[in-house]
C-alpha cells in the first residue's frame, strides 16, 4: 500500500500526554441558552477529572469565541477540546481549523450537537434539557480523554475531470475546469451536444436567441485544447476513489466519416420513418440524424436502433463516407473527479390526461416551443393540423405539484409533488410571444399559482396582463377538463372552475391546448447505481447537504451539475455548472487531497486472515485480504484502503479476533462514553 494511503496516528503525537481538557458551551444566540442552562453545564463539567476549564460564549463560532479556545490552548495548556454547540455539520470544520491554528492536532477536538439533539427537541422541559446536555457533554469528555492525534489521509489527485452530460450545465462545467488547466473528458449519450437548450428558440429572461448563445458556448468547449468530447458514449465501468477513479467509456460509431457529400440525397433515400425527438414527435425523421444546421459534431449519425442496414443511403451517394456497421470502441480513463450533468426529461402526460394522446389539438409546452421556432415544423407559423390557431388555452402544473389521490401515480408508484419552478415563466414567455407575434390569437392562461421567482421573471406576468392574456385560476384538486367538441367553431373545449370569479364554471372553446409539463430526471438508474450516488424522494440526485455542500454527493469526488439535481432554468443550470467545476477544481487543483482519518485500522498482530471483514464490507475495495511473508511463512492479513473506507464500522463487529478498530472512534472510546452517560455527575446547585 502506498505510504500516503496508510492510516496512522500523527507522527507528531506526544507520548503519554496527560489530557488537559477545555469544555466550551455555546449559547447559540439563545437557540441553546433559552432552554439549556449553559453556565450550569460548563460549571458542572469543569469539575470532572482532566477538565481544566469550562466556559460559555454567546457564539462560539464567532472570531471572539474561537479566540477564547485558542487562548486557553496557549495559556492553560489545553490539549483536548470539547465544544457543545449546533450541529457538527455546520461548524466542526470551523473549530478544527481554529485549534490547528495554534498548534493543536485538529482531531483532538470533539463536537457535541446540543442544539439539534437537545434544546430544539426539549424546549418545554428546560431542567431535563440541561441534565441531558450535561450527560452528552460528559460523554464527550470521556471520549476526549482517549483521543489520539491523527494525520489526515493524503491522496495524490489526477488533474483530470470527467463530465457526464453535454447540456448547458455540463458544457459550462467542462469549460470552467479546462480554463484553469485541468484536463476534461466530456461524455454525451446522444449523438450531439447541447442538451434540451438546442431545441429552444428563445430563452428567458432576456428573450435572446437560444442557438446563438448555445453555439457560442459549444464553440469554446469544442475548441479548447484541454477538452476531449465523446458523443454517443456512456460510462460502462467505474472503480477507485477520489483523485483516482478508473472509468470505462463505451462509444458507438456514427456511421459517417468526415464531410459527407450529398447528405440530403442519402436522407431522402432512407426508407425509415420514426418520430423526430428534436421536434418532440411533431414530425418524423429518417434513420440518419442531424437535428439542425449548427448541431455539433457537424457529422451526422446513423440511428442504429431503427436502421435496417438496407443500404439505400449508400446507393444514393455511391457509398462514400458511410459505414453501415456499428463498431463500438472502449476507452479507459483515470480521472480525479466526476461531474454528473445528465439533465432532465419533460414530463410525458399519460394518454387521456387533459386529452393528451387522444385529442390531436392537445400539445405540450416543449412542442409549442418548436412550433414557434423559425426552424420548427411550421417555419415559425402558429399552425396546427394544417390550420391557423385562433385561440390557445395554456394549463400550468401538468406533471408537477401533483396531489395524492387526485393524480395518477407514475410507473414507480410515486407522484410528482414538487414544483418544477421553470414552467410558469416559460409559459408566460410563450404566451407573450404568441400575443405579440400573432395579435389576432387569443390566449387563456389556466394556473394554480404563478411562480415567477427569478430576477426579471415577474415582468413576463406583467407583460402578459398588458398583452391581454386572460387568466383563470383553478385548484389542484379540481383540474380543468379538456374535451373534444363536434360541429363547433372550435374543436376543443376546456371547462374549469375559475376561483378568480369565486368558483364560477367557465367553458373556453379553443383551437389548441398547451400543457405546461414539468421536469423529471433523466433515466440514469444504472449510472447512479454504478457511481453509488443516491436519488432523493423526487428521484433527482441528492446532494450531501442542501446548504453546506450543495453540489457534492455522498461519494467524495463526485459532484452534481444542473438539472440532474433538480428543476432549474438555463441561468441556474449554468451557475450550477460553474459551482460543480469550482468544487472539482478545489479538489484537484493542488494535485493532492486530504481526507479525514476516521477509517478502519487493522492490528496485524491480532489479524488471523479469517476474511469475515471482507465478506461484510459494503464498500468495494475498502478492505481486502493480502498474502505476505512473515518470519519465512505465508500469512494472510486484512488490509484497508482508507480512500475507499467510509468508517461505517461493520468490519469491527464482524472480526472474530478483535483485530479491527476505527481511528477516532475506537471501541475503548465508545465504552468510555457509555460509562459516562450513566455515571453519577455532581450537579452544582443553581445560584
If asked whether residues 127 and 270 sit together in one domain, one would say no
pLDDT mean over 452-459:
92
Whether residue 621 sits in one domain with residue 557:
no
Q: What is the DSSP string of 594-663?
A: EE---SEEE-TTT-----HHHHH--STTSEEEEEEEETTEEEEEEEE-TTT-----HHHHH-TT--EEET
Mean pLDDT score across all residues of the chain:
92
Q: CB within 8 A of 653, min separation 6: which ones?
A: none
Grid cell, residue 245, equals 477513479
What pLDDT is stored for residue 442 in this prediction?
A: 97
Q: What is the pLDDT of residue 88?
A: 92
- Can you tell me the mean pLDDT for 69-85? 96
Which of 104, 119, 150 is the last residue before a domain boundary? 150
- Residue 258: pLDDT over 70: no
Q: How confident is the model at residue 685 (pLDDT cuts 50, 70, 90)?
A: very low
Question: For residue 35, which of 103, 121, 107 has the smallest C-alpha distance?
Answer: 121
337 with 214, same domain: the answer is yes
- CA 420/CA 511 separation, integer angstroms: 26
50-71: average pLDDT: 96
Sign of the dihedral through C-alpha 295, 384, 457, 519: negative
Q: For residue 202, what pLDDT is reported? A: 93
227 lies in the same domain as 245:
yes
Evaluate if residue 682 carries a pLDDT over 80.
no
Does residue 595 lie in a domain region?
no
What range does the domain containing 164 cover?
160-252+330-343+522-590
Query: Which H/E stretch holds residue 572?
Result: helix 570-588
Given a contact cutoff of 8 angstroms between Cβ atoms, the answer to whether 361 and 512 are in contact is: yes
* pLDDT for position 11: 52
Residues 34 and 105 in one domain: yes
- Residues 476 and 400 occupy one common structural domain: yes
- Cα torsion at 466, 470, 475, 478 (round to 10°)? -170
Buried b / exposed e over 258-292, threshold 16 CB at 10 Å, is eebeebeebbebbebeeebebbbbbeebbbbbbbe
Give CA separation, 341 vs 190, 478, 522, in Å: 13, 36, 10
Judgement on whether residues 122 and 210 belong to the same structural domain of the protein: no
The 10s digit of each residue's pLDDT in 196-238 is 999 999 999 999 999 999 999 999 999 999 999 999 999 999 9
Q: Which of 449, 448, 423 is nearest to 346 (CA)?
A: 423
To 10 degrees, what angle do helices 63-76 and 88-100 make? Answer: 40
How does residue 10 score in pLDDT terms, banded at 50, 70 and 90? Answer: low
220, three cell numbers: 469554446
Q: What percent of the chain has pLDDT over 70?
A: 96
CATH number, position 468 = 3.50.50.60
Task: Give the residue-averaged pLDDT of 591-615.
Answer: 91
CA-CA distance, 411 to 457, in Å (whole number)? Answer: 34
Record the pTM. 0.85
What is the reported pLDDT for 492? Answer: 97
Where does a domain end: 477, 494, 520? 520
Domain co-membership, 243 together with 354: no
Angle between helices 168-179 and 570-588 (to 10 degrees): 40
321: pLDDT confidence band, cut at 50, 70 and 90? Answer: confident
What is the band of 570 on the pLDDT scale with cuts at 50, 70, 90?
Answer: very high
Residue 78 falls within a domain, yes or no?
A: yes
- Asked if residue 21 belongs to a domain, the reply is yes
Identify the pLDDT of residue 330. Answer: 97
Q: Which one of 590, 611, 626 terminates a domain?
A: 590
What band does 680 get if pLDDT is binned at 50, 70 and 90? confident
Burial class from Cβ neighbours inside 10 Å (0-12, 13-18, 19+) for residue 383 reads middle
318: pLDDT strictly greater than 90: no
Task: Say yes or no: 540 and 571 in one domain.
Answer: yes
The reply to whether 536 and 638 lie within a common domain is no
- Are residue 300 and residue 188 in the same domain, yes or no? no
Mean pLDDT of 410-418: 92
> In sequence order, which ranges of 102-236 are alpha helices (DSSP H)?
126-145, 168-179, 210-223
Question: Is position 109 within any domain?
Answer: yes
521: phi > 0 → left, psi -120 to 50 → alpha, else beta; which?
beta
Number of other CB atoms surrounding residue 423 within 10 Å: 26
Phi/psi-derived region of residue 221, left when phi > 0, alpha when psi is between -120 and 50, beta in every other case: alpha
Amino acid at each position: 500500500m502506498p505510504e500516503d494511503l496508510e492510516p496512522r496516528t500523527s507522527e507528531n503525537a506526544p507520548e503519554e500526554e496527560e489530557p488537559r481538557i477545555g469544555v466550551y458551551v455555546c449559547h447559540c444566540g439563545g437557540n441553546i441558552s433559552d432552554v439549556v442552562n449553559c453556565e450550569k453545564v460548563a460549571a458542572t463539567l469543569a469539575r470532572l477529572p482532566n477538565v481544566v476549564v469550562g466556559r460559555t460564549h454567546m457564539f462560539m463560532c464567532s472570531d471572539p469565541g474561537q479566540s477564547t479556545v485558542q487562548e486557553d490552548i496557549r495559556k492553560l495548556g489545553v490539549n483536548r477540546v470539547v465544544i457543545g454547540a449546533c450541529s457538527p455539520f455546520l461548524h466542526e470544520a470551523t473549530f478544527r481549523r481554529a485549534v490547528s491554528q495554534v498548534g493543536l492536532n485538529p482531531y483532538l477536538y470533539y463536537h457535541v450537537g446540543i442544539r439539534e439533539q437537545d434544546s430544539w427537541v426539549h424546549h418545554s422541559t428546560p431542567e431535563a434539557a440541561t441534565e441531558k446536555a450535561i450527560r452528552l457533554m460528559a460523554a464527550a469528555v470521556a471520549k476526549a480523554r482517549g483521543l489520539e492525534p491523527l494525520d489526515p489521509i493524503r491522496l495524490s489527485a489526477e488533474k483530470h475531470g470527467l463530465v457526464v452530460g453535454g447540456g448547458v450545465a455540463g458544457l459550462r462545467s467542462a469549460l470552467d475546469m479546462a480554463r484553469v488547466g485541468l484536463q476534461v473528458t466530456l461524455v454525451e449519450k446522444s449523438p450531439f451536444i447541447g442538451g434540451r437548450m438546442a431545441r429552444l428558440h428563445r430563452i428567458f429572461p432576456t428573450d435572446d436567441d437560444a442557438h446563438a448563445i448555445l453555439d457560442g458556448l459549444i464553440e469554446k468547449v469544442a475548441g479548447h485544447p484541454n477538452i476531449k468530447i465523446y458523443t454517443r458514449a456512456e460510462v460502462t465501468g467505474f472503480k477507485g476513489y477520489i483523485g483516482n477513479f478508473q472509468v470505462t467509456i463505451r462509444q458507438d460509431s456514427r456511421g459517417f466519416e468526415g464531410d459527407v457529400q450529398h447528405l440530403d440525397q442519402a436522407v431522402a433515400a432512407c426508407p425509415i420513418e420514426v418520430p423526430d425527438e428534436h421536434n418532440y414527435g411533431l414530425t418524423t425523421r429518417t434513420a440518419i440524424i442531424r437535428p439542425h444546421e449548427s448541431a455539433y459534431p457537424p457529422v451526422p449519425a446513423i440511428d442504429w436502433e431503427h436502421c435496417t442496414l438496407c443500404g439505400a443511403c449508400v446507393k444514393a451517394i455511391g457509398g462514400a463516407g458511410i459505414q453501415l456497421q456499428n463498431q463500438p470502441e472502449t476507452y479507459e480513463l483515470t480521472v480525479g473527479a466526476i461531474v454528473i450533468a445528465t439533465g432532465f426529461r419533460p414530463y410525458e402526460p399519460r394518454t387521456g390526461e387533459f386529452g393528451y394522446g387522444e385529442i390531436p389539438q392537445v400539445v405540450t409546452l416543449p412542442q409549442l416551443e418548436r412550433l414557434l421556432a423559425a426552424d420548427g415544423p411550421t417555419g415559425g407559423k402558429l399552425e396546427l393540423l394544417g390550420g391557423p390557431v385562433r385561440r390557445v388555452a395554456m394549463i400550468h402544473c401538468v406533471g408537477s405539484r401533483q396531489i395524492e389521490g387526485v393524480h395518477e401515480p407514475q410507473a414507480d408508484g410515486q407522484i410528482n409533488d414538487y414544483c418544477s419552478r421553470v414552467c410558469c415563466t416559460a409559459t408566460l414567455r410563450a404566451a407573450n410571444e404568441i400575443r405579440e407575434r400573432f395579435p389576432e390569437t387569443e390566449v387563456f392562461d389556466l394556473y394554480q399559482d404563478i411562480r415567477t421567482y427569478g430576477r426579471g421573471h415577474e415582468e413576463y406576468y406583467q407583460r402578459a396582463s398588458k398583452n391581454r392574456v386572460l387568466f383563470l385560476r383553478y385548484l389542484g384538486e379540481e383540474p380543468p377538463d379538456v374535451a373534444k367538441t363536434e360541429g363547433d367553431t372550435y374543436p376543443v373545449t376546456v371547462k374549469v372552475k375559475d376561483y378568480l370569479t369565486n368558483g364560477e364554471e367557465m367553458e373556453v372553446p379553443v383551437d389548441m391546448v398547451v400543457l405546461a409539463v414539468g421536469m423529471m430526471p433523466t433515466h440514469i438508474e444504472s449510472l447512479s447505481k454504478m457511481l453509488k450516488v443516491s436519488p432523493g424522494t423526487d428521484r433527482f440526485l441528492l446532494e450531501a447537504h442542501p446548504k453546506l455542500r450543495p453540489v457534492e454527493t455522498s461519494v467524495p469526488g463526485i459532484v452534481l451539475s444542473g438539472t440532474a439535481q433538480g428543476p432549474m432554468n438555463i441561468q441556474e443550470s449554468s451557475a450550477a455548472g460553474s459551482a460543480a467545476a469550482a468544487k472539482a477544481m478545489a479538489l484537484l487543483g493542488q494535485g493532492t487531497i486530504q481526507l479525514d482519518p476516521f477509517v478502519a485500522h487493522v492490528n496485524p498482530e491480532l489479524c488471523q486472515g479469517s476474511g469475515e471483514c471482507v465478506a461484510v464490507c459494503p464498500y468495494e475495495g475498502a478492505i481486502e485480504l493480502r498474502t505476505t511473508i512473515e518470519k519465512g511463512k505465508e500469512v494472510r492479513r486484512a488490509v484497508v484502503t482508507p480512500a475507499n473506507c467510509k468508517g461505517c464500522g461493520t468490519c469491527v463487529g464482524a472480526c472474530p479476533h478483535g483485530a479491527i478498530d476505527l481511528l477516532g472512534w475506537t471501541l475503548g472510546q465508545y465504552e468510555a462514553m457509555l460509562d459516562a452517560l450513566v455515571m453519577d455527575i455532581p450537579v452544582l446547585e443553581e445560584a
